[in-house]
Amino acid sequence: MRKRKLGTTDTMVSPICLGCMGFGEPEHGQHQWTLDYEQTYPILKKAWEAGINFFDTAPAYSNGDSETFIGRFIKEEKIDRKEIVIATKFFPRTIEEIEQSVSMAEHIEKNLNASLQRLDTDYIDLYILHMWDYNTPIEQTLEALHDLVKKGRIHHIGISNSYAWQVAMANTIAADHGWSPFVSIQGHYNLIFREEEREMIPCAQHFGMAVTPYSSLAGGKLARSFSVDTKRKELDKYARFKYEKSAKADQKIIDREQEIAEELNVSMTAIALAWLMHKGAIPIAGATRAQQIDAMETAAGLTLSRSQIERLDELYVPHALVGVMAQNKPGSSPFASTKTDMKKKDVRSAY
């Protein structure tokens, strides 16, 4: 796969990023469809051999198993650390940490140290704030991250699950102080959920940020015909929660996607990912079978015609915000750990 720059940085990444949320012992996390290391290994190996050098993970994925698996794979395969790009994340402080006066700098360093240990590495290429923090002034977060960049423990920083005005504010503040800016935005964006196009993508373009969408395949809805059953389709309640209200309108787009896939004799996955790349994004796509890497390879070399793009675009209708963006709002507390707030707590492990 031909590499491209991550935004305006000099970091070269594959045109598709392997999403690693599906890697981890099923009993360790929220998702019962995740894969243990023996099942994960052939997927990581095939992705690496296919030219994918960009891997996205997080401590929330199976309580750190995903990070551990990636670190183990790199060590076992004796991969030159400089050749692979690792993105991982950290959550805002918990309510308990705030009450105990744990500073944002202390919180970030603690989380970073834990990720570095699990990944068995000395630095993180792209360290991402998992969702906007309404309880901490952004200046504190940016300054703490910049200090870690100066020390070489982080190369670049990114943001996920936020609004365009928040990103614009943060990067303007960073520029004013000479701090490291957010170089990437990881938001919910795919063929059947395009609300990022209204403000976030123009904002990212203005700041030269990379757009690295999660849910590129809409929890698998864009990867297969409606009639096909999978373990994830059966068990992924969160994906159903995100898409069930718009299912009727979305199905028209999925049917159109399938038509074009059949015309080109490629998989639906290849169409969905190629569409995102046409929009300028570096899509994050997960895999639960090594064969799914083939579709990513196909997508990387696939050019959709103007007519095909128009056919995919024309059926979209506005959607309400769902998932993290619908739940993480000013005054809300998706990070509380009390038993009475478990519904909100689920947001932490959903991505």
The CA-CA-CA angle for residues 168, 172, 174, to 5°, reads 120
Among the listed residues 41, 61, 127, 243, the single catalytic one is 61
Beta strands 12-13; 4-5: pairing state: antiparallel
- The secondary element (H helix, E strand) that includes residue 182 is strand 182-186
Shortest CA distance to 203 belongs to which of 167, 172, 157?
Answer: 167
d(CA 44, CA 21): 13
d(CA 91, CA 184): 16
Question: What is residue 188's DSSP assignment?
Answer: B
Shortest CA distance to 31 belongs to which of 349, 348, 341?
Answer: 349
Shortest CA distance to 60 belongs to which of 114, 98, 100?
Answer: 114
The verdict on whether 123 is a catalytic residue reads no
Known catalytic residues?
A: 61
